[in-house]
Amino acid sequence: MNMTMDSAIVYEAREIVCNTGKKLLQSGLVSGTWGNISQKLSDDYMIITPSGKEYEILTPEDMVLVNINDLTFETAGDNKPSSEKGLHAAIYKNRKEIRAIIHTHSPNACTVAAARREVPPLLDDMAQIIGPSLRVADYAISSTKKLVKCALKALVGRNAALLANHGAICLGRDMNEAFVTCEILEKSCRTFIEAEFLGGGVPIGGLEARIIHEYYLRKYSKLKKT
């Protein structure tokens, strides 16, 4: 790989991805080696977690540099990039504003993904950050082109989606936003499940949910520039 970016920028991204993995583990949003995290460096490169290595023992040096266009990578010792690198790369190419992606197998998200139930906007923070609903991508085997296609479809106009019988994918314009999206997604799935015991939740109106989401996107973008 012909990597010409500032090494300090690359190392900072390695640290962010590594620290986010430990934060996800502490929050209970992931366990063991499940899930994966990446941060976009440029239109050509991203840093992603390695495959099959537990978050608690990861170091910044373990993070893998991957070419978004052809998925070639620079090895970090014996580490290879997450098997879902193709999904991350496809999202970055499809959604230019996105700079961080987190894939989790959090408990409530997995429950709703297994039920293949779309989550309506029961909470205003879900409508704000994720969008007017939380869709479920059609089932596809992990690390396949079909999974990429199904996930991209479910993510249209959304910052997160459930992956049928699998887990969730959360996006952000920076890593902090991606992490908050994970938290809101898990909270929204738990609320959806628990509201079912009370006869079902009453969602926010579709127009209101879209307005809330668009306002958040515009306001957040403005704040990030100041």
| C-alpha span between 1 and 119 (Å, rounded) | 42
225 exposure class (CB count in 10 Å sphere: 0-12, 13-18, 19+): exposed
Cα distances (angstroms) measured from residue 29 to each of 165, 184, 186: 16, 11, 8
Among the listed residues 12, 54, 56, 84, the single catalytic one is 84
Contacts of 112 (CB under 8 A, 6+ apart): 119, 134, 136, 162, 189, 192, 193
> How many Cβ atoms are within 10 Å of 160's Cβ, its own excluded?
27
| C-alpha span between 207 and 148 (Å, rounded) | 29
Active-site residue flag, 183: no
Amino acid at 22: K
Backbone torsions φ then ψ of 33, nearest 5 degrees: -110, 5
Q: Is the Cβ–Cβ distance between 48 and 81 less than 8 Å?
A: yes
Nearest partner of 123 among 168, 186, 178, judged by Cα:
186
Contacts of 38 (CB under 8 A, 6+ apart): 17, 46, 47, 48, 49, 66, 82, 85, 88, 100, 101
The residues annotated with a catalytic role in the active site are 84
